[in-house]
């Protein structure tokens, strides 16, 4: 079984976070070190360390992550101008917390997706 992460504690409300959305499948909260004016993390409530561990049983939670992202983008006023959704996987992908999470970033032009 995967180790518990800081996100697990946020999901259980054991540590403070600016939670914007929570249901039985996912939790969304503001990033504590935002990379853009809007930077929200959306995580499944079940611990899945990386995309490499995703199974068919996780499809409902992963789909919910996307619908919640769209809902929050609209609430945050960034849906019309646009935003970026990012999932990093493992060290080379830039993953820092090994609990799958979707970054919702926007609120300004984000530039090219990758720097050369």
User: N- to C-terminal Cα distance for the chain?
Assistant: 37
For 2-28, give the DSSP string. PPP-HHHHHHTTSS---EEEE-SSEEE
Active site (annotated) includes residue 103: no
Q: How buried is 52 (Cβ within 10 angstroms: 0-12 exposed, 13-18 middle, 19+ buried)?
A: exposed
Catalytic residue among 39, 58, 101, 103: 101
The catalytic site residues sit at 101
């Amino acid at each position: 079984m995967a180790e518990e992460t800081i996100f697990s504690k946020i999901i259980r409300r054991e540590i403070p976070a600016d939670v914007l959305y929570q249901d039985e499948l996912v939790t969304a909260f503001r990033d504590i070190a935002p990379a853009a004016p809007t930077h929200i993390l959306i995580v499944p409530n079940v611990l899945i360390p990386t995309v490499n561990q995703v199974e068919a049983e996780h499809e409902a939670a992963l789909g919910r992550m996307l619908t919640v992202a769209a809902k929050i983008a609209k609430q945050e006023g960034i849906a019309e101008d646009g935003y970026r959704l990012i999932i990093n996987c493992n060290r080379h992908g830039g993953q820092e917390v090994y609990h799958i999470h979707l970054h919702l970033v926007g609120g300004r032009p984000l530039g090219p997706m990758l720097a050369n």
